[in-house]
Structure 1
Amino acid sequence: MTPPRPPTKPTAEQLLAAKDSTIPDVTGPGLRVLFCGINPGLWSGATGHHFARPGNRFWPALHRSGFTDRQYRPDEQRELLRLGLGITNVAPRTTAKADELTAEELREGGAALRERVLRLRPRALAVLGIGAYRTAFGARKAVIGRQPEGIGDTEVWVLPNPSGLNAHYTLDALAAEFRRLREAVGE
């Protein structure tokens, strides 16, 4: 197995230039799960790769939960498509922190996400962040796990935010929530 390459660290200028930019979704037909972040961070904006900041636990949780046979790097994100996995965001605008987004941006993002899900028809949508989900979908009492209402034929799940800033969940606890989703959607 090839050892992971260290990510190229964006310069301060590249990070500053990435603010308010967007990055392309990783989507296609026949997805088992469409993972949905809150919005891209500056590292993602600077590199063009989802969940790119070194402290983000998305890639380790994806592997530890059994979705992938090894830990992928952010620059390998398009390889997820062959596994039936995709990535998008509630809000497309790149920020240093998710709390820079307005409630209106999240609600608009939720409406756009609904349309995207109805078009792509993944088996499951996994929104990574309970607060963003509650705001985007007007579901103030939502909890982590499968939601009672789907979008069309798509199951909706809310999983913890994998950001390293989310101290409420250890990597093991995060991977356990991802595993529950994987077991529910099957191989």
Structure 2
Amino acid sequence: MDRLPDQLQPGLRLVFVGTAASERSAATGHYYAHPGNRFWPTLFAVGLTPRLYQPHEFPALRVLGIGFTDLCKQGAGMDHVALKAGVDVAGFIAKIRQHRPATVAFTSKKAASLFYGQPTGATALGRQPEQADFPTTFVLASPSGAASGAWTLAPWRELAMHLAQTSDAQPTRVR
């Protein structure tokens, strides 16, 4: 059973991709649910949402063209624990190809490194080189409180600017 349900449908402008659900997210059934997680305030701060949403409102973001999934759907907790349940990169790619979002954004270097099959340190933040038959891809600084030392808003702003320039469903504002 998946810890968090995918929020995917055809035509999304953006899909956020995490590594795995946190313990708090798995317990509540809401993406980025830990109070120390910067995800929801960051979406609003960079203009990806017109207001500050709360974790329980994650399904409402589909109306804004935003979806969610994780690479590890079975595990929960810190990466060293959650990933013991396995990562399904092939299944993730199949979902993305089926639903065809315009943009994919990994919410940590760890998630991106699992997708790209490379060490976490080899993964750069920001827009990634284009890949055939795959959406435009960004790697964002992890909003997790556990990753505070590596936090930067810059790749999140870059993502918001990209969406403002390419999407019919423009963000309300971009800072």
Same fold flag (TM > 0.5)? yes
Change (3 A) 1:41 1:156: same
Q: Percent identity?
A: 33
- Sort the Cα spacing of 1:47 and 1:119 in 2 relative to 1 into closer, same or farther, 3 A: same
Contact 1:117 1:151 in 2 (8 A): no
Q: Does 1:128 align with 2:107?
A: yes
1:137 Cα deviation after fit: 2.1
Match of 2:140 among 141, 159, 162: 159
Normalised to the residue count of structure 1, the TM-score between the two structures is 0.79
- Secondary structure of the residue aligned to 1:177 is helix
Give the superposition deviation at 1:35. Answer: 0.3
Contact 1:66 1:182 in 2 (8 A): yes
Structure 1 26/102 Cα, relative in aligned 2: closer, same or farther at 3 Å?
closer
Matched with 2:125 is: 144
Which protein has the bigger strand share? 2
CA deviation after TM superposition for structure 1 residue 103, in Å: 7.6
> Aligned partners of 2:132, 2:35: CA distance in 1, in Å?
32
Does residue 83 (structure 1) correspond to residue 78 (structure 2)? The answer is no
Paired with 1:64 and 1:177, the residues of 2 have a C-alpha distance of: 13
Count, aligned residues: 163
Q: 1:54 & 1:102 partners in 2: Cα distance?
A: 22
Which structure 2 segments of 5+ residues have no match? 165-169, 171-175
Confirm whether residue 112 of structure 1 aligns to residue 95 of structure 2: no
Q: TM-score, normalised by structure 2?
A: 0.84
Measure, in 1, the Cα distance between the counterparts of 2:19 and 2:95: 15
C-alpha RMSD of the superposition = 2.0
Q: Does 2:19 correspond to 1:38? A: yes
